[in-house]
């Protein structure tokens, strides 16, 4: 039996060892090396790649990334909560609405992000329409700024907030809401005092699923930020390509991982007092 159980986890363990643990070890080693003159890396061993992070330029990008990810998560929550609540009350149409929420996944994220560029650029659909309606004279700068990046992140990760929230709200006993109303709670009070606290596990799960990919986002800030809204994902990519500073890129990657783990521990290491 014991042997059989080991067999069950063997394929996954093998894949993780080869494709996760070994590369991670390599990244750790690289982060402690010195960059070569023509790229690559070599001795001497050093911690300089980490101390460089204290440089205000890099620290700023890290904080900016944290801020952008937090903002995108908050907006996803503000938009996703009412939507999930609506779907959980939609009766027989629930499945249709859930289908619509995951419909965007049928197309590649890259293609969808390009579509946003077509919509938002100076000669894009939005600006063309606004101009045709004589609402603006100059095209609005809709692309290549923080707002465009936030828009792209919220658009891309909203379903990851909606689905866990829906799962929690769906299980909420409708009698609890009737009881709240019966005891004199107006709908808003019932929302704040009953629905919100009881959907805390869903909010946590959704926040994790949105915040973590947003923090390491690369594609969205690259395409919609256009180098003007740089996030840590772009900085890392840049170190491995243009800057040819693999050790620094490796150090940045590990710091990003550490940040993600801190957030996870903060959100998950709570007493589950709801159930």
Partner 1 sequence: MDCVLELEGISKQFPSHLAVDNVSFRVRRGEFFSLLGPSGCGKTTTLRLIAGFEQPTSGVILLEGTRLHSQPPYERNVSTVFQNYALFPHLTVRQNIEFGLRRRKAAGIARRAADVLALVQLAGKEDRKPAELSGGERQRVALARSLVLEPAVLLLDEPLSALDPNLRKQMRSELKALQRRTGVTFLFITHDQEEALSLSTRIALMNGGRIEQQATPEDLYLRPATRFVASFLGGMNWLHHAGIRPEAIHISRVPSLNGHRHFPATIIASTFLGNCFRIESKLSSGESIVADVAPAEGAFHPGEQVHLWWRPDDEITFPA
Give the C-alpha separation, 239 to 35, whole Å. Answer: 11
Give the C-alpha separation, 59 to 53, whole Å. Answer: 6
Give the C-alpha separation, 35 to 20, whole Å. Answer: 23
Q: How far apart, in Å, are the Cα atoms of 55 and each of 12, 61, 255? A: 40, 10, 14
Consecutive H or E run containing 42 = strand 41-42
From 58-66, 141-149, 170-178, 260-268, give the range in contact with partner 1 by CB under 8 A: 170-178
Q: Which of 41, 169, 198, 214 binds partner 1 (CB under 8 A)?
A: 198
From 4-12, 47-55, 158-166, 180-188, give the range in contact with partner 1 by CB under 8 A: 180-188
From 69-77, 93-101, 194-202, 213-221, give the range in contact with partner 1 by CB under 8 A: 194-202
Number of residues located near partner 1, criterion CB under 8 A? 20
From 15-23, 58-66, 171-179, 256-264, give the range in contact with partner 1 by CB under 8 A: 171-179
Q: How far is the CB of 187 from partner 1 (least distance, A)?
A: 8
Give the C-alpha separation, 94 to 170, whole Å. Answer: 10
Q: Which of 57, 176, 258, 261 binds partner 1 (CB under 8 A)?
A: 176
Q: Interface with partner 1 includes 272 (CB under 8 A)?
A: no
Q: Interface with partner 1 includes 186 (CB under 8 A)?
A: yes
| Residue 228 near residue 145 (C-beta atoms within 8 A) | yes
Residue with tokens 């499945």: 95
Q: Interface with partner 1 includes 189 (CB under 8 A)?
A: yes
Q: Which two tokens stand for residue 65?
A: 């990334």
User: In terms of CB distance, is 171 or 228 closer to partner 1?
Assistant: 171
Q: Interface with partner 1 includes 141 (CB under 8 A)?
A: no
User: In terms of CB distance, is 137 or 271 closer to partner 1?
Assistant: 271
Q: Is 63 helix (H, G, I), strand (E, B) or coil?
A: helix
Q: Classify residue 96 by burial, with Cβ atoms within 10 Å: 0-12, 13-18, 19+.
A: exposed
User: In terms of CB distance, is 111 or 275 closer to partner 1?
Assistant: 275
Binding site for partner 1 (CB under 8 A): 173, 175-176, 178-186, 189, 193-194, 197-198, 273-275
């Amino acid at each position: 039996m014991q042997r059989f159980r080991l067999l069950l986890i063997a394929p996954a363990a093998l894949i993780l060892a080869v494709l996760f643990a070994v590369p991670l070890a390599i990244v750790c080693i690289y982060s402690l090396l010195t960059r070569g003159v023509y790229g690559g890396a070599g001795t001497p061993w050093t911690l300089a790649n980490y101390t460089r992070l204290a440089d205000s330029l890099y620290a700023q990008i890290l904080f900016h990334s944290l801020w952008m990810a937090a903002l995108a998560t908050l907006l996803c929550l503000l938009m996703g909560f009412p939507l999930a609540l609506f779907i959980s009350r939609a009766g027989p149409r629930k499945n249709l609405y859930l289908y619509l929420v995951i419909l965007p996944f049928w197309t590649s994220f890259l293609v969808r992000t390009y579509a946003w560029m077509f919509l938002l650029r100076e000669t894009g659909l939005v600006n063309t329409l606004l101009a045709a309606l004589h609402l603006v004279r100059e095209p609005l700068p809709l692309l290549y700024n923080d707002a465009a990046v936030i828009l792209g992140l919220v658009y891309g990760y909203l379903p990851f907030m909606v689905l866990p929230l829906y799962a929690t709200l769906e299980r909420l006993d409708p009698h609890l809401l009737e009881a709240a109303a019966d005891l004199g709670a107006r709908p808003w009070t019932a929302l704040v005092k009953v629905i919100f606290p009881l959907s805390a596990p869903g909010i946590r799960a959704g926040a994790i699923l949105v915040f973590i990919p947003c923090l390491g986002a690369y594609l969205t800030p690259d395409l919609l930020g256009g180098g003007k809204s740089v996030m840590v994902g772009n900085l890392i990519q840049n170190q491995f390509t243009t800057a040819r500073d693999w050790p620094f890129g490796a150090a940045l990657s590990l710091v990003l991982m550490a940040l993600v783990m801190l957030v996870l521990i903060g959100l998950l290491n709570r007493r589950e007092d709801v159930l």
